[in-house]
C-alpha cells in the first residue's frame, strides 16, 4: 500500500514537473521581446471566464491557449476569474477565436 | 464482504474526485487504493461534453474491466460557480475463477461548486451476470454517494488548494450510511485525497490531467 502511494506521488511529481518544464519557454519568449525592443508594446488581452472555479478548470484553459501558435504566455487568476493572454510579437487572436477556445474547454468568455 | 462492497463502490469512485468529462483532448488518470484493492481509471475527453473511459479494478476475488462513455448533459457556467449534470454508461466484464461474466453499469452525477463550497451527488447501478461469487450476492448493485466540501482558505491556480470533504455513502439495501472525512489537496493538474473512515479504514484517491 505504501509503495503504491509512493508510486502515485512519483507519477504526479513527474507529470507536474513535465508541465512546469514547458512554461519557462513561453515566459522567456515574452521577456526577450520586451528586452530587445523596449518600445514594443506587448499585445495582451484579459478575458473574463464564467465557470472557472477550480485548478483543473484553469489548467485546461491554460493548456488550450498555450496550444495556440499566436499565444506566448497565459496567466490565469481564479481569484479574479480571468485569463490574461500575451501574444507573440505582431500576433493576436480575434475575440471569436478566444471564445471558441474557452468553449472547447467547457467555459464561457466574458469580454469587457 | 465489506471489502467487496467497498470495491464495488469504487468502480465509480473517479466521479467523486473530479468531473467525468474534462476539456477537449484531455487525458485523465486516476487511481484509488485501499488495503484490499486497486483501481486504475483512464479517461479521454473528445470534447467538453463527452468522454470515453476504461475502469480496471482488481481485488482478491474478481477483476473488472469496464469501458464506459461519460456525457455532460448540462453545465451551468456562472461567474462565481459551476454546476453539472452527467450520465455515464458502460459494458464490461468481470473475471472470476478464470471465467468471464458480463457487467453493465449506469450512473447519474450532479455537482455544484464555487471556490469555497462543493456539493456532489452520485447514484450508480451495476448489473452483473456473475452469480457464482458467494461474496457478491447482489447481481444488481446500487450505490448512492453524497459529498460536501469546504475550502478553509481560498488559493489561486498556482497555489496549493486544500479542501475538507465529508462523504456519505449507502450501498444496496444496507441501512447503515457510511461517513468518511477526506482531506483534498489540489494543485494545477494534480489532485489527491486522503480519507479515514470512522471505522479506522483509510482511502486514497489520486488524479492527474495530462
Of A100-104, B156-160, B197-201, the poorest mean pLDDT is in: B197-201
Give the count of beta carbons closer than 10 Å to the beta carbon of residue B197.
16
First and final C-alpha spacing in chain B: 36
Q: What pLDDT digit, counting tens, does each position of B123-168 carry?
A: 988 899 988 887 777 788 888 999 999 999 999 888 999 999 999 9
CATH number for position B151: 2.40.160.40
Q: Which helix (H) or strand (E) holds B6?
A: helix B2-10
Question: Is pLDDT larger for residue B175 or for residue B145?
Answer: B145
Whether B107 has a pLDDT exceeding 60, the answer reads: yes
Would you state the pLDDT for residue B18? 53
Cβ-based interface (< 8 Å): residues of A facing B:
1, 4-5, 8-9, 11-12, 15-16, 19, 48, 50-64, 76-79, 81, 103-108, 110
In 3D space, the residue among A64, A56, A103 whose CA is nearest the CA of residue A85 turns out to be A64
CATH number for position A106: 3.30.70.100
Report the alpha-carbon distance of residue B17 to residue A108 in Å, rounded: 23
**What would the mean pLDDT of A15-32 be, rounded to a whole number?**
40
In 3D space, the residue among B92, B16, B81, B85 whose CA is nearest the CA of residue B52 turns out to be B92
Of A24-38, B55-69, B114-128, B192-206, the poorest mean pLDDT is in: A24-38
B158, B136 Cβ separation under 8 angstroms? no
What values do phi and psi take at A3, rounded to 5?
Answer: -60, -40
Judge if ipTM > 0.90.
no
Average pLDDT, rounded, for chain B: 84
Would you state the pLDDT for residue B7? 44
Which residue range(s) make up the domain with B112?
Answer: 2-209
Q: Which residues contact B177 (CB under 8 A, 6 or more apart)?
A: B168, B169, B170
Whether A34 has a pLDDT exceeding 50, the answer reads: no
Whether A8 has a pLDDT exceeding 80, the answer reads: no
Of A59-68, B95-104, B113-122, B199-208, the poorest mean pLDDT is in: B199-208
Give the three cell numbers for residue B156. 489561486
Q: How many domains does chain B have?
A: 1
**What would the mean pLDDT of A6-31 be, rounded to a whole number?**
45
Which residue range(s) make up the domain with A82?
Answer: 2-110
Would you state the pLDDT for residue A5? 53
Question: Is pLDDT larger for residue A74 or for residue B126?
Answer: A74
Asked if B192 reaches chain A (Cβ–Cβ under 8 Å), the answer is yes
Q: What is the DSSP string of B172-199?
A: TT-SPPEEEEEEEEEETTEEEEEEE-TT
Report the alpha-carbon distance of residue A55 to residue A64 in Å, rounded: 14
Tell me the chain B residues in contact with residue A27 when contact means C-beta distances shorter than 8 Å: none
Q: How many domains does chain A have?
A: 1
Nearest by CB: B192 against A12, A48, A105? A12
Of A16-25, A75-84, B114-123, the poorest mean pLDDT is in: A16-25
Q: Which residues contact B151 (CB under 8 A, 6 or more apart)?
A: B115, B116, B117, B118, B161, B162, B163, B164
Report the alpha-carbon distance of residue B17 to residue A52 in Å, rounded: 17
Amino acid at each position: 500500500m505504501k509503495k503504491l502511494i509512493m508510486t502515485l506521488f512519483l507519477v504526479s511529481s513527474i507529470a507536474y514537473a513535465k508541465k512546469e518544464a514547458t512554461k519557462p519557454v513561453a515566459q522567456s519568449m515574452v521577456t526577450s521581446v520586451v528586452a530587445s525592443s523596449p518600445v514594443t508594446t506587448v499585445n495582451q488581452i484579459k478575458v473574463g471566464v464564467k465557470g472557472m472555479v477550480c485548478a483543473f478548470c484553469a489548467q485546461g484553459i491554460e493548456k488550450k491557449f498555450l496550444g495556440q501558435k499566436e499565444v506566448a504566455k497565459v496567466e490565469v487568476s481564479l481569484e479574479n476569474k480571468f485569463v490574461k493572454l500575451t501574444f507573440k510579437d505582431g500576433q493576436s487572436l480575434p475575440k471569436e477565436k478566444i471564445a471558441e477556445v474557452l468553449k472547447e474547454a467547457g467555459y464561457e468568455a466574458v469580454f469587457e | 464482504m465489506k471489502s467487496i462492497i467497498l470495491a464495488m463502490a469504487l468502480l465509480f469512485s473517479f466521479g467523486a474526485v473530479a468531473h467525468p468529462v474534462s476539456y477537449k483532448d484531455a487525458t485523465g488518470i486516476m487511481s484509488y487504493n485501499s488495503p484490499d484493492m486497486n483501481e486504475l481509471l483512464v479517461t479521454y475527453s473528445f470534447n467538453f461534453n463527452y468522454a470515453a473511459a476504461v475502469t480496471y479494478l482488481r481485488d482478491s476475488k474478481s477483476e473488472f474491466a469496464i469501458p464506459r462513455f461519460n456525457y455532460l448533459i448540462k453545465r451551468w457556467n456562472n461567474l462565481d460557480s459551476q454546476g453539472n449534470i452527467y450520465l455515464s454508461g458502460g459494458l464490461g466484464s468481470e473475471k472470476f475463477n478464470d471465467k468471464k461474466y458480463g457487467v453493465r453499469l449506469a450512473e447519474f452525477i450532479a455537482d455544484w461548486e464555487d471556490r469555497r463550497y462543493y456539493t456532489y451527488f452520485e447514484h450508480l447501478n451495476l448489473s452483473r451476470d456473475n452469480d457464482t461469487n458467494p461474496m457478491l450476492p447482489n447481481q444488481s448493485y446500487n450505490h448512492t454517494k453524497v459529498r460536501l466540501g469546504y475550502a478553509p482558505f481560498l488559493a489561486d491556480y498556482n497555489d496549493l488548494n486544500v479542501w475538507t470533504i465529508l462523504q456519505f455513502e449507502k450501498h444496496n439495501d444496507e441501512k447503515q450510511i457510511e461517513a468518511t472525512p477526506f482531506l483534498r489537496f489540489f494543485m494545477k493538474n494534480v489532485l489527491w485525497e486522503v480519507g479515514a473512515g470512522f471505522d479506522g479504514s483509510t482511502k486514497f484517491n489520486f488524479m492527474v490531467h495530462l
